[in-house]
Structure 1
Amino acid sequence: MRFFFLISAFLIAMASGQSQNVKILEEFTNLPIAGAAIYNASKSRSTTSDIDGVANLSRFLADELIFIEHLLYKSGSYITSDISNRTIYLKPKIEGLDEIVVSASKFQQSKRDIPQKIININAKAIGFSNPQTSADLLENSGNVFVQKSQMGGGSPMIRGLSANRLLMTVDGVRMNNAIFRGGNLQNVISIDPFTIQNTEVTLGAGSVVYGSDAIGGVMSFYTKTPQLSYSDSLYFKGSVVGRYATANKEKTGHIDLNFGLKKWAFFTSVSYTDFDDLRMGNHGPIDYIRSEYVQTSEGVDRIVANDDPLIQIPTGYDQINLLQKIRYEPKQDWSFDLGLYYTTTSEYSRYDRLLRYKNGTLRSAEWNYGPQRWFMGNLQVTKLSSNSNLYDKIQSTVAYQNFQESRMDRDFGKTERHIKEEAVDALSFNLDLEKQFGKRTEFFYGLEYIYNQVISGGMQENIQTGTSVPTVSRYPNGSDWQSMAAYTSLKFKPNQKFVFQTGIRYNHVIVHADFTENNAYLKLPYTATRINTGAFTGTAGVNWNPNQTLGIRLNTSSAFRAPNIDDLGKVFDSEPGAVVVPNDNLKPEYAYGLELGVKLNFENVFILDMATYYTHLDNTLVRRDFTLNGASEIMYDGELSTVQAIQNAAESRIYGVEVGMHVNFTKALKLKSYYNIIGGEEEGNNGEKKPLRHAAPQFGATHLIWQNEKFQVDGFVRYNAALSYNQLAPSEQSKDYIYALDASGNPYAPSWYTVNLRTQYEFSDAISLTASLENITDQRYKPYSSGIAAPGRNFIVALKYTL
């Protein structure tokens, strides 16, 4: 690690000085505009803005007329003396800033150059959609399906893949860790939507740039950047938001402050949210009704009738998010960014587990997640221009993360509470570089190192005596996971109509797990295991825009996911009567994908964006029946349970179609519509074919939007097709407690729709009001595989005051 810190120190030591600058931002969102051309009337002098929207004006005369122009923004003319050391704002054209992306190479590129489909959600869109969590933010994109096992959650599904087959990054730092599981994940709720400046969702593999886990897609969250003053006067900006929602009686408060000096800037954000129990809709399957629940008083469990069966008890929780960022720009081309992130939830219930019955009685008296905590500190050093033969742009990132989570469950009428506690310490280093060869070729390359250590413990507590004894932990305590990688990527653009991109990455993963502590309970035939494996992945794609109307993109890729500690060494009850045990015979799973996209743009009035894709997943890691010391059943938590383990026991085929339509009837009135069709199957080593667990039903949304300078209205419908019993994966067929029942008494996922209205009014530059009425017809529904019913009719109001 010393080598990586020396590199960062070397980059810091090279910085000095400051020049006469202008800062160019997008109006409304304050996003920096990179690549804006600045020139005088004769075009004898010119420059361009960098990744942070900053351009040096020293080459121009003091009172010279200059022009600022960008493909995506309305042009303007200025006098240099009027804008020196100031910030100017450009108005976007119709398609806006979603044409600029960062996630494809770690440096800004035009979206038109990328052969993959990338969804971009900026701060203005986030503010209007007003999501309660970042899971809801992703769901609003139109191409991400979100499953929820409880209100304190949200597990994204992209193109038939989910959980640890999708990668999440925050400000370029990988959030996936060694215990990200193959089931549903809740970590995305740790990201505060109030702090997000921009979110990019890459649909499809991203392993060349991001390594293991980026099989189905990459969700890249970029938090707000502290804004400098670029003058001798202080630049100050702040905002305060208050929000209330009726379906779960949400009470949210948020404040952020920005202090900008000439070279230093500070951004502070605090958010607090309190959710009560969630109310479901009034019209829908009766199977979702919460008619009774367990109440414990003085150590005695009893089942009580729910006074309001539409209220899902218990589902409430609260959460706090803190962010502190510091930015230092010693000169135009250098920036140093320090970010400190902390979030924690209260204890909250795993609601779907509280719906299970055993012998006609609710099985669990309690099943809770402990506080989900996440801390990250990262330092990023960026230099955006250089005369080096090795690079034009360079970015170095060092990060430390700490994840904490726990689980507590107790059967009805039992005094023993089972507790599992986990923590992960994660260190990472990234070095990313870009070099341009002439006007046609750009070369990206980089290095990455990641180290994760897992701390895990288990205990059994008697709720009457308060005594506890150690028991088997969820993961092997002290295990570690390491990844080392190098990648290269090439972009060749012979003209404005054609772009070819290709890349390759080598990743080496080392996993070590010591089962000495757990062998006191499990009696494994080994005390330690080690995985030492490497993988090559590659991608190649073209983006061809022969004219302003037609755009075609074609992309092929390979991706992989190396086994992690969750795959290798987990011990947990996967379902009633089953227990998952460690398996030391695992290999990486590989994905091979093909994507074809077509975009038709008729004079920016009618835009149709279509894509079809196919993914073949080989050596798929799946949960299957297993034996432990020759036994197919063992006693676990006092119950005889079938032994299962994660195994390379299948291959999967996934295919689908995505269609997006955008119609600009007038400058003020627009129609947007999205639809997703996903299919596929999983074939076991025995040749048996089964439906995919994370292949969501067909889903989509249609929005009719009207907007003027101060008022915006969005009336929209969200809809979801049904999945019959035979279309459910076997693991879902066994969860009759979360699904509706068909005429034969079998579980299935019914179709559903919601009608919604969202509005925003800006009283002034300082005050805005956002109000939504969601699920107007009060439908009772559950998104596919969700254990909790979605909100019923829900009125949400948020007031924002900007200083």
Structure 2
Amino acid sequence: MKFFLSLCTFLLISVSAHSQRVKILEETTGLPVAGAVIYNASKVKSTMSDIDGVANLGQFSSDEIIFVEHLLYQISSFRTSDIANRTIYLKAKIEGLEEIVLSASKFQQSKRDIPQKIINISAKSIVFSNPQTSADLLESSGNVFIQKSQMGGGSPMIRGLSTNRLLITVDGVRMNNAIFRGGNLQNVISIDPFAIQNTEVTLGAGSVVYGSDALGGVMSFYTQNPRLSYADSLYFKGHVVTRYATANKEKTGHVDLNFGMKKWAFYSSISYTDFDDLRMGDHGPADYIRPEYVRTVDGTDQLVANGNPLIQVPTGYDQINFLQKVRYEPKEDWTFDLGLYYTTTSDFSRYDRLIRYKGDNLRSAEWNYGPQRWFMGNVQVTKLSSNSNLYDKIQATLAYQNFQESRMDRDYAKPDRNIREEAVDALSANLDLEKQLGTRTELFYGLEYIYNHVTSSGNEENIQTGTTVPTVSRYPNGSDWQSVAAYTSLKFKPNPKFVFQTGMRYNHVVLNADFTQNNAYLYLPYTNTKINTGAFTGTAGVNWNPNQTLALKFNASSAFRAPNIDDIGKVFDSEPGAVVVPNDDLKPEHAYGLELGLKLNFENRVIVDMATYYTYLDNTLVRRDFTLNGESEIMYDGELSTVQAIQNAAESRIYGFEVGLMVNFTDALKLKSNYNIIGGREEDDFGDNTPLRHAAPQFGDTHLTWQKDKLQLDAFATYNSELSNNQLATSEQGKDYMYALDANGKPYSPSWYTLNFRTQYQFNKAVSLTVSLENITDQRYKTYSSGIAAPGRNLILSLKYTL
């Protein structure tokens, strides 16, 4: 009987203790807030949230007023009896002043401790900026330059590097695959901006944590996490969004639903977008207008006058995004996550290939990308507290991805359509761990394995007879690319004012390519090629915050990029009259960088954040003239073409300066501005010393915002300096079809600006309306290296309903 009573008492105490626990989360991201102090009015009683954001309110009475305070968040007060679902949400203080980031080590760290510059784009700012694609989302950061060859695209440039020299991750899984190319990429649009919880952009090398490809930066996208109720009752939340834009007659619908139970939670998201042809602005270079286009009627190509030369025909497409996530928390320190992601587009034209002329006629009758499809399934297991001697936190991630893309092109008045299709199956496994070695030292370390398998086919279809014959494929069919790596990173913080971080990684890459199929057309002097190479990379940096006003950062890093299937085995027409062929003699690129940052904070009223950097890229992979079996020209797709190949034939030097300014005039009125200056030269083995292709012009933005109660306003300008013809890379100087022409008839990239206004009004807890008027003065412009002109005056209406 005594035993029974003791057991009952113990169970009652346990249940009572558990019921008095609360979880403290950041309002917009749902991430736990550690170190939040909770106290009553007299400050006699107090407690603190642990690393998981959990605090015990057992010492407070059931109807007591408590206050929750944290350095990074606004002080909030609650009555203990009114805390719903045992969860407290805190609002962040001044945005960007102090944030928690995940991408630097795979676990939460204070942004103040990271020696590199990291841009954080929160869910709140994503909702307000209302981007049409994730490429537009990155552009809104003010530090990422976006190039577009077509409306269904967006290729980021960061600090003079782009495409396969930048890394994209989604929920910690790398999106880069074995056919990520050096030319402009549009894969980032596969990520649904409606489903993103927050985005972190690491400016500069990230090879220690992320391995190959992270030479210029890492774009880390984190999708919405399912939210639990932590109670017996169901926690439900959902959103319905509809949006319309005038410049491309965008019609978008989005729905997301969250069902949270005590230990299980489910999050579902689906978005559909339909874009019509894009209208450019009315004021700007006449070189950009679209006077005519090709229409095919009964198998015959015709040049048709464009009824409105400002409409870029054809550029429209549609896209669907789906996300399903499941979370299971059997215990407070254990989390199991499942994510299923699927995106597909319709066919969409590569617009810059459709505006080239050959004589008096347009060169191409059609040049389309087939549906761009991406599927990912990942499972992630996280334990955030442990008594193990090996780790305090551990996270294991397994992922499978499938990428599908294709290209279809046909010359004007020619019956033969070239169709090339590619697919990549990608498997990855990551193990990341964190260990507190003492009160001042943290150790991060992990293992990674990646496997990519590439399938590729080529066919030539006669549109008049319907017959199809095989032809050379874009990539060697059946190729594979593997990577295995181990890394370690150490953070030493002897006092709150000084942080030292260092790390090292070893990465080994093995590539196998079989050219048997393509040798029926190319007659290469080899049938197989292999790459078996390894690289050590490292980083070391310090943060010094001597007082509340001054913060200094310095970081030195090395990074690398191993050749992939695209580098070693691609066959494609790089430009009119040129064809790229395989090259089996490639080595990794190595980057060595320095970064110095200075931040001045004058009582949270004026904040100036500056950084300068220098990167040296050795063994740069560049496209240059080549010979195949002693021949400098071959026939490709019916045209005599100059032979080119990717080669380790250059070295690059990149340098730049970034400055950000935030002025908090009042709690409601703020000014925020960014400006970027980038320069770079590329010197090759043939004696040419030319501007770097992906060094963007000087660019920036300035926002004047006002927020009070239910209303938020943003008047902003974006701007871009000129690049004259001699400032363009050699590969760009001959693209008269893509750039404006100067007084001498030579291509150049003009300067431009836009004036814009955005407002958001929250009618009530359920309904909000966002209205944007972009490019108010209807400027006609192209961002540097872009084949498509940017939208003209554009009214965007977005209505959001919270269920």
Q: Name the TM-score, length of structure 1 as normaliser.
A: 0.96
Is 1:98–1:121's contact at 8 Å kept on the other side of the alignment?
no
Shift of 1:71: 1.4
Shift of 1:360: 2.1
**Paired residues for 1:388-467 under 5 Å:** 388-467=388-467
Shift of 1:800: 0.2
The Cα offsets for residues 247-291 of structure 1, whole Å up to 9 and x where unpaired, read as 000000000000000000000001000000000000000000100
Structure 2 residue aligned with 1:37 = 36
Opposite residue 763 of structure 1, the aligned amino acid is F
Is 2:29–2:122's contact at 8 Å kept on the other side of the alignment?
no
The verdict on how the C-alpha distance between 1:764 and 1:96 changes in structure 2, with shifts beyond 3 A counting, is farther
**Paired residues for 1:190-269 under 5 Å:** 190-269=190-269
Shift of 1:83: 3.9
SS at match of 2:789: coil
Structure 2 residue aligned with 1:769 = 769
Structure 2 residue aligned with 1:688 = 688
Structure 2 residue aligned with 1:585 = 585
Is 1:45–1:59's contact at 8 Å kept on the other side of the alignment?
no
Is 1:711–1:761's contact at 8 Å kept on the other side of the alignment?
yes
Structure 1 residue aligned with 2:799 = 799
Structure 1 residue aligned with 2:653 = 653
Give the aligned CA root-mean-square deviation in angstroms.
1.5
Shift of 1:90: 1.4
SS at match of 2:248: coil
Distance 1:78 1:754 in 2: 45
Shift of 1:92: 1.9
SS at match of 2:706: strand
The verdict on how the C-alpha distance between 1:71 and 1:222 changes in structure 2, with shifts beyond 3 A counting, is same
Structure 1 residue aligned with 2:49 = 48
Distance 2:565 2:118 in 1: 30
Shift of 1:59: 6.5
Structure 2 residue aligned with 1:519 = 519
1:600 aligns with 2:627: no
The Cα offsets for residues 219-274 of structure 1, whole Å up to 9 and x where unpaired, read as 00000000000111000000000000000000000000000000000000010000
Opposite residue 35 of structure 1, the aligned amino acid is A
Structure 2 residue aligned with 1:325 = 325
The Cα offsets for residues 21-45 of structure 1, whole Å up to 9 and x where unpaired, read as 4222233x25323313345577887
Is 1:664–1:671's contact at 8 Å kept on the other side of the alignment?
yes
Distance 2:238 2:441 in 1: 42
Is 1:719–1:752's contact at 8 Å kept on the other side of the alignment?
yes
Unpaired runs of 5+ in structure 1? 1-17
SS at match of 1:180: coil
Shift of 1:86: 1.5
SS at match of 2:408: strand
Shift of 1:74: 2.2
Structure 2 residue aligned with 1:737 = 737
Shift of 1:69: 2.8
Shift of 1:359: 1.8
Structure 1 residue aligned with 2:677 = 677
1:486 aligns with 2:495: no
SS at match of 1:146: strand
The Cα offsets for residues 334-378 of structure 1, whole Å up to 9 and x where unpaired, read as 000100000000000000000111122100000000000000000
Structure 1 residue aligned with 2:475 = 475
Is 2:166–2:214's contact at 8 Å kept on the other side of the alignment?
yes
Distance 1:59 1:464 in 2: 80
The Cα offsets for residues 655-678 of structure 1, whole Å up to 9 and x where unpaired, read as 000010000111111111110000
Structure 1 residue aligned with 2:281 = 281
**Paired residues for 1:535-614 under 5 Å:** 535-614=535-614
Structure 1 residue aligned with 2:382 = 382
The Cα offsets for residues 704-745 of structure 1, whole Å up to 9 and x where unpaired, read as 111101101100111100000000001111211000000111
SS at match of 2:660: strand
The verdict on how the C-alpha distance between 1:84 and 1:367 changes in structure 2, with shifts beyond 3 A counting, is closer
Is 1:57–1:80's contact at 8 Å kept on the other side of the alignment?
no
Shift of 1:439: 1.4
User: What's the % identity of the aligned pairs?
Assistant: 78
Shift of 1:19: 4.8
Structure 2 residue aligned with 1:5 = none
Is 1:19–1:58's contact at 8 Å kept on the other side of the alignment?
no
Shift of 1:158: 0.2
The Cα offsets for residues 61-87 of structure 1, whole Å up to 9 and x where unpaired, read as 664876533210123455666548521
Is 1:38–1:66's contact at 8 Å kept on the other side of the alignment?
no
Is 1:19–1:332's contact at 8 Å kept on the other side of the alignment?
no
Distance 2:329 2:341 in 1: 21
Distance 1:43 1:496 in 2: 27
The verdict on how the C-alpha distance between 1:85 and 1:438 changes in structure 2, with shifts beyond 3 A counting, is farther
Distance 2:199 2:461 in 1: 43
The verdict on how the C-alpha distance between 1:76 and 1:130 changes in structure 2, with shifts beyond 3 A counting, is closer
Distance 1:98 1:371 in 2: 41
Is 2:135–2:155's contact at 8 Å kept on the other side of the alignment?
yes
Is 2:540–2:555's contact at 8 Å kept on the other side of the alignment?
yes
Is 2:651–2:682's contact at 8 Å kept on the other side of the alignment?
yes
Alignment length (residue pairs): 783
Distance 1:526 1:30 in 2: 53
Is 1:33–1:49's contact at 8 Å kept on the other side of the alignment?
no
Opposite residue 772 of structure 1, the aligned amino acid is S
Is 2:47–2:55's contact at 8 Å kept on the other side of the alignment?
no
Distance 2:451 2:66 in 1: 50
Distance 1:350 1:169 in 2: 25
SS at match of 1:737: coil
SS at match of 1:469: strand
SS at match of 2:267: strand
Shift of 1:47: 4.3
Distance 2:181 2:65 in 1: 58
SS at match of 2:765: coil
